[in-house]
Chains A and B, each alone.
Chain A
Amino acid sequence: MAGSKGREGEMLESIYSVLALVFILVACVELGDAATVVDVYRLIQYDLAGVPFGSRLASLNHHAGSLPFAPGADLSRTVVIIPFREVNITFLRDYIMQRQPLGGLLLLLPQNISSESREEAEEGDRNNGKELIRSELAELEKLLVHVNIPYPVYFAFEDDKITAVLADVKTNDATGQPATATTGGYKLVVSTPEPKKLASPTITNIQGWLPGLKADGDVNQLPTIAIVASYDTFGAAPALSVGSDSNGSGVVALLEIARLFSLLYSNPKTRGRYNLLFGLTSGGPYNYNGTFKWLQSFDQRLRESIDYAICLNSIGSWDDELWIHVSKPPENAYIKQVFESFSSVAEELGVKIGLKHKKINVSNPRVAWEHEQFSKSRVTAVTLSELSVAPELLESTGGLSDSRHFVNGIAVSRSVKLVAESLARHIYGHQGKNIQIFADGSSLAVNPFYIQSWLDLMSQTPRVAPFLPKNDPFILALKKELADHTAEVNVQHEALDGIFTFYDLTKASLNIYQVASVTFDLLLLLVLGSYLIILFSFLVITTRGLDDLISLFRRPPSRKVKMA
């Protein structure tokens, strides 16, 4: 008897646990039925020497609002959606600097910045418009990267869905007070965990070695010429920092130069008496940390054998003038020689070359140009760039404004030709002679399609070093491409040191829900309550009569009396 009871109890218990499990499962049913889901890209979050910068939060769950908002309105629970066209930089800067509360910020970037339509701007008018957008984007990016914003900031591309939502929000805002929990409207939700620090980000340098031809009985080591480009980027939105110009153009030029010289070096007759060293370095935005690590890994003999190094940086959107930046005085014999070989080729190609000298300040940790790292380890080096002035830290590092749209494949081709031609004249000793080795139409001509396709690939690949894993397909692709053109490829993984700390979560999906207000639900409850009461009264009256209804509301004792 007792046993059976115990068994019953056990069974009941197991039934209860099953029921509980079912309820838990039901309660966990994912509620993903948003009206709209949009890919959004988070503003970068980083610490510079322990000082926080960028957007410090990631998760978002607030109502949508739009510009212009009423003065004095409480926006601490509102996500303001601003299309890029309407961004007023000074207003935004003031708003952020005054540390006004805001639920979040969603910036809508124009679609055509991201699109890959590669029509070269025919009309000057449109070109002007493009330039304007570019400079405004650069300004916005500069603002956002250098402030500490205590709320989430996201970027999204304008599309039909989000434009419709924005139009709705705008009319809503125009008619009444901005949407809060009591007036309904749209709710923007990004559910992500708290952003975490990236533990010891790595940077990856790739080097390719193209050995020259040693004459018989020559015991001396051959001299080496290095061609270097840093490939990583930094920008306001790490997932959108493709850096087509800075420094995608340099990387593409390097690959094309490697391809051209691999053709020459494959034949013993045309193999030069110089080794060529190609270096794709990372950590460019962080004072060329990768270049520094790479140079440190050289042994003494190799470092001494380097004749000079040419660093390529932002050579994809110039019109007719390039700059050679040096840190040794222009009177230096090596510098003079390099500059002269470049300028003679430039003259033939009909472009201008300028020389800029900027001394290295040893006490300043800032390294503005890649060649400065070489100069610090006593290697002659120059940087070829379209930029006439040295960029500040985290400036011109391939952010939002640096898209495929603003890069011209022809400019890259001309840069390649300039560098390759002057290198070839140096290697084969044709200085001062007008011999075109890489003439158009010959088998050694610069291939514009190769450049185009690599530029396109660069412009689709965000390359912010801390978010680029060691074996990222992009790094593997670069390695493979370099391996195709050179004899020996080495990949070097190093820890990014310095004062930077990065946080993860660069990409998220934003759910946009259309929500009803609490007031509506309260009203609905009232209506339903009265409906049920009326129904109850009606049913009681029709089936039992009015007296019964009234008797229901009398005090219980009266019923007792009645029953008795």
Chain B
Amino acid sequence: MTVFHFFNCAILTFGPHAVYYSATPLSEYDTFGTSVKAAIVYLGTALVKLVCLATFLKVPENDSFDPYQELLKALIGFIDVAGLYFALTQLTHRNISQNHKFQAVGLGWAFADSVLHRLAPLWVGARGLEFTWEYILQGLEANANLVLTVSLAALGSLMWLRKNKPRTLVPIIYACAGILATMPSITSYLRRGLGWHFPKVVGFELFASLAMAFISWQLFSACQKPSA
């Protein structure tokens, strides 16, 4: 019964990634290699991030919100952006369109993130007899994270790969990318600074991810038009 629960939570956490890959044209163009490369880049980035966090951050004595530390954490969070940049621009991809490239990179990135951050707690926790909502919420969070990462990758590809974009949209793109990149800090602020509970935070993340996805999609299609 508890293995059943683990199975459910695993479906919720990792299912959407698989569905995304198989449902979209990504599977038709065989972009699996790109996703794997992105995942490897993610691993490297996570390592660098860990080293930075361990070097520059104090261990918090209590669970309170320390603005200076959080700012530092947000800055270190931008290493993610650098990693994405590397994955999008520096890696040699097979000949796939930009359109698919950013999706594949975002997908690989989000999947690696889920595996790295959620698989172990899930395995240890959800198999236990004790029932909590935590692992279901964590699965929902993984969904939100997938959407956010793909959005960020989309904006990243707009910023770095597309040369002729409408001038008026450039600041908006950068602003949105900034918001997406600081999303972990925002949720951390909500949880610790405002004392929100986990369900509320996850709800916010889901909502924010949908909103950001919509905005990114609009921006992407707006940039697509002139070239088309």
Contacts and interface: CB of A to CB of B under 8 A. Distances in A.
A26 B123 CA distance: 8
A215 to B, nearest CB: 77
A544 B129 CA distance: 43
B19 A532 contact: yes
B1 A181 contact: yes
A521 B127 contact: no
Interface stretch (A415-423, A464-472, A502-510, A534-542): A534-542
Q: How large is the interface on A (under 10, 10 to 19, 20 to 34, 35 or more residues)?
A: 20 to 34
B141 to A, nearest CB: 15
A373 B8 CA distance: 69
Given A31-B127, A525-B8, A532 B16 contact: yes
Contacts of B15: 528, 532
A189 B129 CA distance: 10
A528 B8 contact: yes
B213 to A, nearest CB: 12
A514 B132 CA distance: 8
Contacts of A535: 16, 19-20, 23
Interface string B1-39: 100110110011001100110111100000000000000
Helix, strand, loop or mixed for chain B's interface?
helix
Given A543-B23, A543-B25, A521 B128 contact: no
A263 B20 CA distance: 91
Interface string B64-87: 000000000000000000000000
A513 B65 CA distance: 32
Contacts of A531: 12
A557 B73 CA distance: 55
Contacts of A524: 5, 8, 136
Interface string B115-147: 000000001110111110000100000000000
Given A34-B129, A515-B130, A544-B25, A536 B19 contact: yes
A546 interface: no
A535 B24 CA distance: 11
B173 to A, nearest CB: 22
A29 B123 CA distance: 9
A544 to B, nearest CB: 6
A259 to B, nearest CB: 53
Contacts of B124: 29, 31
Nearest to A516: B131
Interface string B188-208: 000000000000000000000
Contact of A528 (B12, B125, B130): B12
Contacts of B16: 532, 535
A35 B130 CA distance: 7
Contacts of A532: 11, 15-16, 19
A119 interface: no
Contact of A34 (B20, B125, B130): B130
B3 to A, nearest CB: 10
A516 to B, nearest CB: 4
Contact of A31 (B23, B25, B129): B129
Nearest to A522: B4
Contacts of B22: 536
A544 B16 CA distance: 18
B131 A515 contact: yes
Contacts of B4: 518, 521, 525
Contacts of A518: 1, 4
Contacts of A181: 1
Contacts of B131: 184, 513-516
Nearest to A184: B131
Contacts of A544: 24-25
Nearest to A30: B124
Contacts of B12: 528, 531
A35 to B, nearest CB: 6
Contact of A33 (B8, B20, B24, B128): B128
B129 A513 contact: yes
Nearest to A187: B129
Nearest to A523: B8
Nearest to B127: A31
Nearest to A521: B4
Contacts of A33: 125, 128, 130
Interface in A147-195: 181, 184, 187, 189
Contacts of B128: 31, 33, 513
Nearest to A517: B1
A539 B130 contact: no
Interface in B163-206: none
Nearest to B4: A521
A199 to B, nearest CB: 35
Nearest to B136: A524
B138 to A, nearest CB: 14
Contacts of A540: 23-24
Contacts of B127: 31
Contacts of A189: 129
Nearest to B24: A543
Nearest to B125: A33
A453 to B, nearest CB: 42
A540 B27 CA distance: 11
Contact of B8 (A29, A521, A536): A521
B214 to A, nearest CB: 12
A184 B131 CA distance: 10
Contact of B1 (A35, A521, A529): A521
Nearest to B7: A525
Nearest to B139: A528
A521 B127 CA distance: 13
Nearest to B10: A528
A537 B19 CA distance: 10
Nearest to B132: A514
Contacts of B129: 31, 34, 187, 189, 511, 513, 515
B23 A539 contact: yes
B5 A521 contact: yes
Given A31-B129, A513-B129, 14 more contacts: A31-B127, A34-B130, A184-B131, A511-B129, A514-B131, A515-B1, A516-B5, A521-B5, A528-B11, A528-B12, A531-B12, A535-B19, A537-B23, A543-B25
The 9 closest A-B pairs by CB, nearest first: A539-B23, A513-B129, A516-B131, A31-B128, A513-B130, A536-B23, A543-B24, A540-B23, A521-B4
Interface of B: 1, 4-5, 7-8, 11-12, 15-16, 19-20, 22-25, 123-125, 127-131, 136
10 contacts: A26-B123, A33-B130, A187-B129, A515-B130, A516-B5, A524-B136, A528-B11, A528-B15, A535-B16, A536-B19
